[in-house]
Amino acid sequence: SFSRPIPREDDEDASSVVAEQSEEDDAWDETSNVRPRESDRVGTYHLVPRPADARVRGDDPTDVDSLLERALMGGLEGEEAMSELLRLAEHQFPKLVERFPGPLSVDRFRAREAIPPASECGPLLKLLVTSRRTTLPFMTVRSATPDVEQRFWATHVLGELLFAESSNAVLPRLFDDDVSVRRVARRAAQALVSSGTPGDPIKTSLEHTLRNQDEPMHRRLLAIEALADVRVPAVVPVLIAALADPSDAVVEAGRTALIVVTRQDLGRNPDVWRHWWEAHQQEHRVEWLIRSLTHESSSIRRAAGDELKLVTREYFGYYDDLPQRERERAQERYLTWWREEGRYRFR
Is residue 183 in some structural domain?
Answer: no
User: Are residue 140 and residue 245 in the same domain, yes or no?
Assistant: no
The one-letter code for the residue type at 138 is F
Is residue 180 in some structural domain?
Answer: no
Please compute the mean of the pLDDT values over residues 161-182 and round it to a whole number. Answer: 97
78: exposed, middle or buried (C-beta count within 10 Å: 0-12, 13-18, 19+)?
middle
By C-alpha distance, which of 136, 128, 230, 121 is closest to 174?
230
Enclosing domain of residue 328: 286-347
Q: Which of 238, 256, 282 is the last residue of a domain?
A: 282
231 CB-near residues (< 8 Å, 6+ apart): 1, 190, 260, 261, 285
Specify the number of domains making up the chain: 3
Q: How confident is the model at residue 250 (pLDDT cuts 50, 70, 90)?
A: very high
Mean pLDDT for the chain overall: 84
- What pLDDT is recorded for position 229? 93
User: Are residue 159 and residue 269 in the same domain, yes or no?
Assistant: no
- What pLDDT is recorded for position 24? 39
User: Are residue 235 and residue 291 in the same domain, yes or no?
Assistant: no
User: Are residue 332 and residue 243 in the same domain, yes or no?
Assistant: no
Q: Which of 170, 188, 207 is the last residue of a domain?
A: 170
What whole-number distance in Å separates Cα of residue 203 and Cα of residue 232?
A: 10
Is residue 122 in some structural domain?
Answer: yes
What whole-number distance in Å separates Cα of residue 249 and Cα of residue 255?
A: 10
Is residue 185 in some structural domain?
Answer: no
- What pLDDT is recorded for position 20? 34
If one compares 269 and 57, the residue with the highest pLDDT of the two is 269
Q: How confident is the model at residue 36 (pLDDT cuts 50, 70, 90)?
A: very low
- What pLDDT is recorded for position 27? 43
Q: Which of 112, 135, 170 is the last residue of a domain?
A: 170
The reported pTM is 0.76
| Three-class HEC string of 324-340 | HHHHHHHHHHHHHHHHH
Is residue 211 in some structural domain?
Answer: yes
If one compares 41 and 184, the residue with the highest pLDDT of the two is 184
User: Are residue 211 and residue 322 in the same domain, yes or no?
Assistant: no
User: Are residue 111 and residue 35 in the same domain, yes or no?
Assistant: yes
Q: How confident is the model at residue 81 (pLDDT cuts 50, 70, 90)?
A: confident
User: Are residue 216 and residue 106 in the same domain, yes or no?
Assistant: no
What whole-number distance in Å separates Cα of residue 310 and Cα of residue 322?
A: 19
Is residue 36 in some structural domain?
Answer: yes
- What pLDDT is recorded for position 66? 82
DSSP state at residue 164: H
Q: What would the pLDDT profile of 299-308 be if each residue is shown by its tens digit?
A: 999 999 999 9
Q: Do 316 and 331 meet the contact criterion of CB atoms below 8 Å apart?
A: no
Please compute the mean of the pLDDT values over residues 80-91 and round it to a whole number. Answer: 85
User: Are residue 158 and residue 275 in the same domain, yes or no?
Assistant: no
User: Are residue 137 and residue 206 in the same domain, yes or no?
Assistant: no
Q: Do 228 and 254 meet the contact criterion of CB atoms below 8 Å apart?
A: no
Q: Of 76-80, 182-186, 200-204, 336-340, give the lowest mean pLDDT range.
A: 76-80
Is residue 177 in some structural domain?
Answer: no
User: Are residue 68 and residue 17 in the same domain, yes or no?
Assistant: yes
For residue 236, pLDDT over 90 is answered with: yes
User: Are residue 159 and residue 270 in the same domain, yes or no?
Assistant: no
User: Are residue 278 and residue 136 in the same domain, yes or no?
Assistant: no
What whole-number distance in Å separates Cα of residue 207 and Cα of residue 227?
A: 8
Is residue 191 in some structural domain?
Answer: no
Q: How confident is the model at residue 265 (pLDDT cuts 50, 70, 90)?
A: very high
What whole-number distance in Å separates Cα of residue 305 and Cα of residue 333?
A: 13
